[in-house]
Structure 1
Amino acid sequence: MAANEVAICVDAGTTVIKTVVFDKDGRELAVTRRETTVRHPSRERCEQDMHEVWDAVVATVGEAVARVARPVRLLAVTAQGDGAWLVGPDGRPVGPAVLWNDGRATDVVRDWRADGTLERAYRINGSLTNAGLPNAILRSLQGDAPRTVLTCGGWLFLKLTGVLGIEKSEASAPWLDIHRGTYSTELTDLYGIDPAVLPPLLTEQVQPLTATELGLPAGTPVVLAPYDIVTTAFGAGATTVGQATCILGTTLCTEVLVAAPDTTGEPSGLTLDFGTAGLIMRSFPTLAGTGVVDWLIDLLGLADHDEVTTLAAQAPPGADGLRVWPYLSPAGERAPFLDPVASGFVGGVLFGHGRTHLARAVLEGLAHVIRDCLDAAPGRPVELGLCGGGAASPLWCRLIADITGVPAVSTEDSQVGAKGAQVFALTALGDYPDLAAAASALVRPAARYEPDTATRDLYEDAHAEFLQTRALAATRWDRWR
């Protein structure tokens, strides 16, 4: 990038679309955002209007371009993954997008687990299907009209460039033979799905801008980065084998970079190919996340997440025995274990417990989920990069370090997903020789949290109790629904 040029990077999340303007050194010059509506027509359904998402991108990009009047080198996009964003032959939506946390395909997943489909598919693609993946959603939907299943990123790339396709990380689960990096008809046969619904695999993720609504010149390079859980890892500085990241967002996504796929062992999590030789991501995106904190805010009548942290800081480590198992999603849980009827619960409650204990128990319960995912991942990281909205809480970051036993680090960026899109885009355009060089130049560490040795025994016992009690509860979950 030239000294006066900027990169416009879109991070299309589930509830907020953010556009960030970065200079050539990766410093944030402006952030614009629009909230988008997530609709729940019934308890198990989670949908978005595809046009509304596009309109939010147009609005945030246009505002960002107007706010920073400098030459634009590129427009990069990363977005929420999974789900089913269906378009017809004309490229128009055929209905609302079905999101990654939708639960209508619960029965499909249950049947596939019972008949062995999930395990057979895992041996091919290294990913354990859950109710929010497009193969399960497609099986649950009715209708035989011609259509193509995209992701949010694919939908936005189509609108921006007119190119129909899917990026490799978004295609990995559930469609790719992960050892070959290609579509697998064995998989579509297993799922009972016509492969004609699949879009082309994108071989070129840089295309010229054709959309006229954004205030950018036609022909501006548009770079489709991997979907958000991969791109956010780049933005946290994870670009080499063995580095680990956890996104503290709507999903707690714990992930580690490995050299090659491994489809042996107990099926768990996702294996994602993002087209970089010698790098594969093992990812454990939970359905537990900051939505649990939002639930607590509503329950206690609090103002925001900061108030949760303030309350939690007033309770001692271990919350005086109060425990929260934070499996509140209508779709159950998907990582590191799969159970579409998993339910949350609170244990150890006594009269002496109050709001401060419950606030701390929620943050600790979510930290136990992260440790569960780290234990399922290959190897043991020497440190864990933390990002997402939850990383703004030093208390929660310290709790995660204490409960996992792994030093935690955060970066100075407020928009780590967008930063990862810049890292990827400038590598794709040749400004840097590889992702590691780009991250080294553009990502800056901020804080480091060392595990507190004084609480190790307490949290080791608490984690064992967390797992044992969950195993007992799992025998009753289907009756609690």
Structure 2
Amino acid sequence: MALDDAPFDGHSDGRLDGRFDGPFAVCVDAGTTVIKAVVFDAAGREVVVCRRETVVDHPRRDRAEQDMAAVWGAVAAAVHEAVAAAPGPVRLVALTAQGDGAWLVDRRGRPVRPAVLWNDARAADVVREWRAAGVLARAYRKNGSLTNAGLPNAILRRLAVEEPDALRAAHAVLTCGGWLFLRLTGVLGIEVSEASAPWLDIGSRHYSDDLLAAYGLVEHRRLLPPLLSGADQVGELTHEAAAELGLPAGTPVVLAPYDVVATALGTGTTVAGQATCVLGTTLCTEVLVDAPDTAGEPSGLTLAFGPWRPVLRAFPTLAGTGVLDWTVELLGLRDHGELSALAAGSAPGADGLRLLPYLSPAGERAPFLDPAASGLVTGLLFAHRREHLARAVLEGLAHVIRDCLDAAPHRPVELALCGGGAASELWCQLIADVTGVPAVTTEDSQVGAKGALLFALTALGDHQDLGAAAAALVRRDRRLVPAPGAREFHDREHAEFLATRALVASRWKGWRADV
């Protein structure tokens, strides 16, 4: 899934001002629409940020695909530019990427078909059937994750019907990170966090034949690649990849957890009870917990990572900064900054204008699952202006974050915010006010890449554990506390948000022509 694919102008931010210490690390954050290669110095400071855009194809309204070779080409180009701009020798490459989807390769490691992405909705009917049959609830008791249409189990079931020849030709179903690690090192595998949902018995962290049987995918078990954990996540750059990247063959390459986990690590969320929310294409609210809990109402994802005990409870919504993009275009604004400034002209509550921000064609997946979910504006009157809509959009998304926090097993004492949306102090303050939890940000602009760096340095033995790496390299920036006296107002607003959603949820499917 994509977390922070902010738009940009040009390819590279160039070298940032300041004096930096080597040796240097290049950390790749391969998002859905933007690939970033970030050079960090030994103190964990960003030195260079290089970017390349990638294209998402939509052959049908409910489809989202990417050319796998083009994604690799964008990564190679971004890393090559970053290496050339680094002030000194590059010691290692670390990698995090969008998760989920289905990236099929044959026995020679070549793409079988375009990658099916995390936000593809072709398998929505599969998920509905599984839900009605109780499959999702049974799987959650073993897996701790609620399947949605963008996960590979649902996608494989759909491809088995629509494209059986593609599955026969495939040797493995990878993720974006696994595909890029294969191209970099020649090693075929999947990192544990990416395999957690939907394939693993989350208690044992092994593939589950019971889950495969529940999904009707026993005959496709051969497509599951080796699990990579601990030392297996460290490879060496091949001669072929080295030539494309401008680095020596044999350079260490570390496959970090996918972007959902990496961003949490990058904010310093390394201890059970800490929490992060990524304000990106996905609003991903994440809480680190000591152990998986598969009781209770199925919701969200439970992600193991590396050889460490804690697991991440993640609630990656389909509502995110795409809603801001839509509003910017609708109101004729230039960017999110203008939207935030416009929203500042409205009082809290937007004079009664409210928004359910479920605009994705795939509906919503966290903290509840409904492929038919859609947006709704209520309370609209002649007196409302552009600033009211801008405010209602930001507040609606803040209520989505609160909804996710309420579904988490523990209420955090702080919520680290990152992603492109964290640039808006107004929105960050709104989130603190609506959730009632102090919001904090860090100095880093590339938090996913920073998380990959922390993981890589820990895997290579530079730090005893992730907590020590974060203590040494993550620097706090702002801390925003909830506005005094605002709690009662936002409690009422949140109750109205939930009541409105409950009222219309039974009508969603009838409103949508595509489900």
Smaller-chain TM-score bracket: over 0.9
Deviations for 1:204-254, whole angstroms, at most 9, x for unmatched residues?
100000112100100000000000010110100100010000000000000
**Equivalent of 2:234, from 203, 206, 209?**
206
**Equivalent of 1:177, from 183, 201, 207?**
201
2:138 maps to 1:110 = no
**Equivalent of 1:19, from 30, 37, 44?**
37
Distance in 2, matches of 1:335 and 1:27, equals 33
Asked whether the 8 Å contact 1:85–1:152 carries over to 2, the reply is yes
Distance in 1, matches of 2:424 and 2:255, equals 30
The CA deviation at 1:453 is 2.1
Q: Counterpart in 2 of 1:274?
A: 305
Q: Counterpart in 2 of 1:146?
A: 169
Distance in 2, matches of 1:83 and 1:277, equals 25
Distance in 1, matches of 2:61 and 2:377, equals 22
**Equivalent of 2:116, from 88, 94, 98?**
98
**Equivalent of 2:447, from 398, 410, 416?**
416
1:301-380 equivalent positions in 2, closer than 5 A: 301-380=332-411
SS of structure 1 residue aligned to 2:227? coil
SS of structure 2 residue aligned to 1:213? helix
Asked whether the 8 Å contact 2:343–2:387 carries over to 1, the reply is yes
The CA deviation at 1:178 is 0.3
**Equivalent of 1:240, from 250, 254, 271?**
271
Distance 1:31 1:3, change over 3 A: closer
SS of structure 1 residue aligned to 2:35? strand
Letter in 2 for 1:367: A
Asked whether the 8 Å contact 2:112–2:169 carries over to 1, the reply is no
The runs of 5 or more residues in structure 2 that have no matched partner are 1-19
Identity across matched positions, percent: 71
2:140 maps to 1:122 = yes
The CA deviation at 1:4 is 2.3
**Equivalent of 1:195, from 221, 226, 248?**
221
Deviations for 1:78-137, whole angstroms, at most 9, x for unmatched residues?
000011111111111111111111111000000000001101110110000000000001
Asked whether the 8 Å contact 1:81–1:153 carries over to 2, the reply is yes
SS of structure 2 residue aligned to 1:112? helix
Distance in 2, matches of 1:394 and 1:181, equals 39
Q: Counterpart in 2 of 1:440?
A: 471
The CA deviation at 1:278 is 2.3
Q: Counterpart in 1 of 2:8?
A: none
The CA deviation at 1:275 is 2.4
Deviations for 1:148-178, whole angstroms, at most 9, x for unmatched residues?
1100000000000000000000000000000
2:412 maps to 1:386 = no
2:138 maps to 1:136 = no
Q: Counterpart in 2 of 1:68?
A: 86
| Runs of 4+ in structure 1 over 4 Å off | none
Deviations for 1:257-291, whole angstroms, at most 9, x for unmatched residues?
00111111110000001024321110000000000
Letter in 1 for 2:65: E
Q: Counterpart in 1 of 2:328?
A: 297
Asked whether the 8 Å contact 1:21–1:64 carries over to 2, the reply is yes
Distance in 1, matches of 2:42 and 2:492, equals 48
Report the RMSD for the aligned CA atoms in angstroms. Answer: 1.0
SS of structure 2 residue aligned to 1:356? helix
Distance in 2, matches of 1:455 and 1:41, equals 46
Letter in 2 for 1:40: H
Deviations for 1:430-461, whole angstroms, at most 9, x for unmatched residues?
00000000001110000011001232222111
Distance in 1, matches of 2:285 and 2:251, equals 34
**Equivalent of 1:397, from 425, 428, 438?**
428
Letter in 1 for 2:211: L
Asked whether the 8 Å contact 1:235–1:418 carries over to 2, the reply is yes
Distance in 1, matches of 2:323 and 2:22, equals 42
The CA deviation at 1:202 is 1.2
Distance in 2, matches of 1:49 and 1:319, equals 42
The CA deviation at 1:301 is 1.5
2:71 maps to 1:53 = yes
SS of structure 2 residue aligned to 1:31? strand
TM-score normalised to structure 1 length: 0.99
Q: Counterpart in 1 of 2:503?
A: 472
Distance in 1, matches of 2:481 and 2:121, equals 38
Asked whether the 8 Å contact 1:317–1:455 carries over to 2, the reply is no
Distance in 2, matches of 1:50 and 1:295, equals 27
2:186 maps to 1:165 = no
Letter in 1 for 2:405: L
Letter in 2 for 1:207: G
Distance in 2, matches of 1:228 and 1:30, equals 20
